[in-house]
């Protein structure tokens, strides 16, 4: 699996140079749980001038990869794609660790470029609206290690169940195969994570 560094500034220029069928360019940073999507989203958003980021974690729940998608499209993606802003309630992970409750509001301002980051955000249903799709890959063992380190050992069974659901979803949806770039979430080669991304030849 070959790796090569790529400048985030060059990636930002490529995004802005691409043709878009919508007033706002939408970039998806997809991948399985624990792969490193949020880290990449923060770095790319900063390099792009502090553009807004829509977090899938504000919508999904532990036991579902589908029911929340309509709300994400309706309340966040469709409004920003038309060039407007969005306002939606976020999941209350602090008081409801399983991700079923809502608490607080998120405001996404109008912008020429918006990043959507999270599991399945480049799914087939949104493909034709994306300016670019990035897939972040990390080994299964590392993703599980990160998840348990973040959420606690008591969440290991939930992570194991979730990873099986991811496997089934992406085997059918094929998001990794449609990605414009495959990104390493556990790079081997030296790089500056605030200025560079490490691309993969395959996953």
Question: Which pair of structure tokens corresponds to residue 4?
Answer: 């090569």
For residue 202, name the pLDDT band (cuts at 50, 70, 90). Answer: confident
Please provide the DSSP assignment of 7-31 as one string.
EHHHHHHHHHHS--SSSSEEEEEEE
More confident residue, 134 or 62: 134
Compute the mean pLDDT over every residue in the chain, rounded to the nearest whole number.
Answer: 95
- Residue 28 is predicted with a pLDDT of 98
Cβ-proximal residues to 190 (8 Å cutoff; 6+ apart), any chain: none
Do 28 and 116 contact (CB within 8 A), yes or no? yes
What CATH number belongs to 3-56+112-200?
3.40.50.300
Extents of the domains making up the chain: 3-56+112-200
Task: Give residue-wise pLDDT tens across range 126-157.
Answer: 999 999 999 999 999 999 999 999 999 999 99
- Residue 100 is predicted with a pLDDT of 75
Do 27 and 87 contact (CB within 8 A), yes or no? no
Instruction: Indicate if the pLDDT at residue 97 is higher than 80.
Output: no
Q: pLDDT exceeding 70 applies to what percent of the chain?
A: 99
Do 132 and 27 contact (CB within 8 A), yes or no? yes
């Amino acid at each position: 699996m070959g790796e090569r560094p790529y400048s985030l500034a060059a990636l930002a220029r490529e995004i802005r140079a691409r043709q878009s069928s919508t007033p706002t360019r939408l970039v998806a940073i997809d991948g399985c749980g624990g792969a490193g999507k949020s880290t990449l989203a923060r770095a790319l958003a900063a390099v792009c001038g502090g553009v807004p980021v829509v977090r899938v974690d504000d919508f999904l729940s532990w036991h579902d990869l589908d029911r929340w998608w309509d709300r994400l499209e309706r309340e966040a993606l469709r409004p920003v794609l038309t060039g407007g802003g969005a306002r939606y309630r976020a999941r209350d992970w602090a008081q409801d660790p399983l991700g079923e409750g809502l608490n607080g509001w998120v405001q996404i301002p109008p912008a020429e470029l918006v990043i959507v980051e999270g599991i399945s955000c480049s799914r087939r249903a949104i493909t034709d609206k994306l300016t670019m799709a990035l897939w972040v890959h990390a080994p299964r063992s590392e993703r599980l290690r990160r998840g348990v380190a973040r959420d606690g050992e008591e969440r290991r069974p939930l992570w194991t169940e979730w990873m099986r659901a991811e496997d089934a979803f992406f085997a059918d949806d094929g998001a990794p195969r449609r990605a414009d770039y495959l990104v390493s979430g556990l790079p081997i080669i030296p790089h500056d994570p605030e200025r560079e991304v490490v691309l993969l030849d395959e996953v």
